[in-house]
Structure 1
Amino acid sequence: MDPQATVTDNPSQSRFEIHEGADLAGFAQYHAYKDEIAFLHTEIGQTFGGRGLAGLLINGALDAARERGLKVLPYCPFVRGWITRHPDYVELVPQQDRARFGL
Structure 2
Amino acid sequence: MSDTAYSIRNNETNMQFEIEADGEIASMLYRFYKDSIAFMHTTVPKALEGKGIASALVKGAFAYSQKHHKPVMVYCPFVAEFIKKHPEYQQQLDPGYHKQ
1:24 & 1:35 partners in 2: Cα distance?
Answer: 32
1:60, CA displacement in angstroms?
0.8
1:24, CA displacement in angstroms?
3.9
Map of 2:58 onto structure 1: 58
- Two-structure CA RMSD over aligned residues (Å): 1.6
Structure having greater relative contact order (Cα 8 Å, sep ≥ 6): 2
1:9 aligns with 2:10: yes
Q: Which has the higher helix share?
A: 1
Provide structure 2 residue ranges, at least 5 long, that are not aligned to the other structure: none
1:28 & 1:74 partners in 2: Cα distance?
Answer: 12
Query: For 1:22-46, what per-residue CA distance to the aligned partner results, in whole angstroms no more than 9, with x for missing partners?
Result: x343000011133211111100011
Q: Give 3-state SS (helix, strand or coil) of 1:50's partner.
A: coil
Q: Percent same amino acid at aligned positions?
A: 30
TM-score (norm 1): 0.84
Q: Give 3-state SS (helix, strand or coil) of 2:9's partner.
A: strand
TM-score (norm 2): 0.87
Map of 2:21 onto structure 1: 20
